[in-house]
């Protein structure tokens, strides 16, 4: 049983269903209620909870209708921002990790490793494949702290982000670190996946720690290519974020 069902919504958002029992599922960032309802009906699932990573409409738009139609519980960042409680779903344990930065209510949902699966992380607009969200409601230091919190999770953690910005993120990464063979290879593989219509998620934390320039802000190789050899990780992160905002 594949626990995560990927549901592309809007232009480039991802909603997800996490199936924690044969017939029970949680929806993550369900921006389109109809798509989610069709999927749960088709797979004969009962929707028991909705997780919202942050308050932006392209992540929350379907929540009201879904809650109305399924009577499920809704768990969002603004209820849990102080400390990440642990919730049980069947045999899975889920931790809510507060990750302010993009918005002040941003949280990530971490399904802890279990017998058959490694950890699974739903990152909303905090961590993207090869990128990170724009700090809109918080400063870059807050965002950097949140990303470091995520980077401390196990290397085999599967990462399911809120948007498919992967191609432009690799393109940006290559403006920072043009000789990086690993990123060049990942971009090639990504374009192949897109061509063949295969999903571009998930990534792993191990891959992100190697290929995501934002997670590498404290890495001396990145500091040297952007000519900030003596700067701290937070300063380098702020500079990378500034360059990314200009890049697009
Ligand atoms: Zn957002």
Kindly report the backbone phi and psi dihedral angles of residue 154, in degrees, each rounded to the nearest multiple of 5, phi listed first: -60, 150
pLDDT at 139: 97
| Distance in Å, CA 239 to ligand 1 centroid | 21
Phi-psi region of 188 (alpha: psi -120 to 50; beta: other; left: phi over 0): alpha
**pLDDT at 203 > cutoff 60:** yes
Report residue 2's pLDDT band, with 50, 70 and 90 as the boundaries.
Answer: confident
Confidence of residue 81 (pLDDT cuts 50, 70, 90): low
What distance in angstroms lies between residue 125's CA and the mean position of ligand 1's atoms? 5
> How far is ligand 1, taken at its centre, from the CA of residue 56, in Å?
5
Cα 181 to middle of ligand 1, angstroms = 31
pLDDT at position 84: 65
pLDDT digits (tens, 9 = 90+) for 208-220: 999 999 999 999 9
57 CA from centroid of ligand 1 (Å): 8
What was the pLDDT predicted at 94?
Answer: 95
Distance 126 CA to ligand 1 centre (A): 8
Distance from residue 246's CA to the centre of ligand 1 (Å)? 18
Query: What pLDDT score does 80 carry?
Result: 57
217 Cα–ligand 1 center, Å: 22
User: At 85, is the pLDDT very low, low, confident or very high (cuts 50, 70, 90)?
Assistant: confident
With 60 as the cut, is the pLDDT of residue 32 above it? yes
Q: How far is the CA of 112 from the centre of ligand 1 (A)?
A: 24
Residues in the 5 Å CB sphere of ion ligand 1: 56, 125
The mean pLDDT of 234-245, rounded to a whole number, is 97
Ligand 1 centroid – CA 10 distance (Å): 13
C-alpha 127 – ligand 1 centre gap (Å): 11
Is the pLDDT at 151 greater than 90, yes or no? Answer: yes
CA 38 to chain CA centroid, Å, is 24
3-class SS string, the chain: CCCEEEEEECCCEEEEEEEEECCEEEEECCCCHHHHHHHHHHCCCEEEEEEECCCCHHHHCCHHHHHHHHCCEEEEHHHHCCCCCEEEECCEEEEEEECCCCCCCCEEEEECCCCCCCCEEEEECCEECCEECCCCCCCHHHHHHHHHHHHCCCCCCEEEECECCHHHHHHHHHHHCCCCHHHHHHHHHHHHHHHHCCCCCCEEHHHHHHHCCCCCCCCHHHHHHCCCCCCCHHHHHHHHHHHHHHHC
The CA 54 to ligand 1 mean position distance, Å, reads: 7
Q: pTM of the predicted model, to two decimals? A: 0.96
Residue 233 CA, ligand 1 centroid: distance in Å = 24
* pLDDT at position 46: 97
pLDDT at 77: 81
């Amino acid at each position: 049983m594949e626990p995560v069902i990927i549901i592309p919504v809007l232009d480039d958002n991802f909603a997800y269903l996490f199936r924690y029992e044969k017939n029970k599922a949680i929806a993550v960032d369900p921006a389109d209620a109809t798509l989610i309802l069709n999927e749960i009906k088709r797979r004969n699932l009962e929707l028991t909870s909705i997780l919202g990573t942050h308050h932006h409409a392209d992540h929350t738009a379907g929540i009201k209708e879904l809650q109305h139609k399924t009577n499920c519980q809704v768990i969002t960042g603004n209820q849990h921002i102080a400390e990440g409680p642990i919730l049980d779903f069947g045999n899975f344990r889920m931790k809510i990790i507060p990750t302010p930065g993009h918005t002040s209510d941003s949280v990530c949902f971490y399904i802890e490793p279990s017998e058959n699966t490694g950890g699974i992380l739903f990152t909303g607009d905090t961590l993207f494949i090869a990128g990170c969200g724009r700090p809109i409601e918080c400063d870059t230091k807050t965002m950097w702290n949140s990303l470091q919190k995520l980077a401390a999770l196990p290397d085999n953690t599967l990462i399911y982000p809120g948007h498919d910005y992967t191609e432009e993120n690799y393109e940006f990464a290559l403006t920072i670190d043009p000789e990086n063979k690993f990123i060049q290879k990942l971009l090639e593989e990504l374009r192949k996946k897109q061509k063949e219509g295969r999903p571009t998620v998930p990534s792993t934390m191990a891959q992100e720690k190697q290929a995501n320039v934002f997670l590498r802000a404290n890495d001396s190789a990145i500091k040297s290519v952007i000519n900030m050899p003596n700067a701290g990780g937070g300063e380098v992160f702020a500079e990378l974020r500034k360059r990314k905002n200009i890049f697009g």
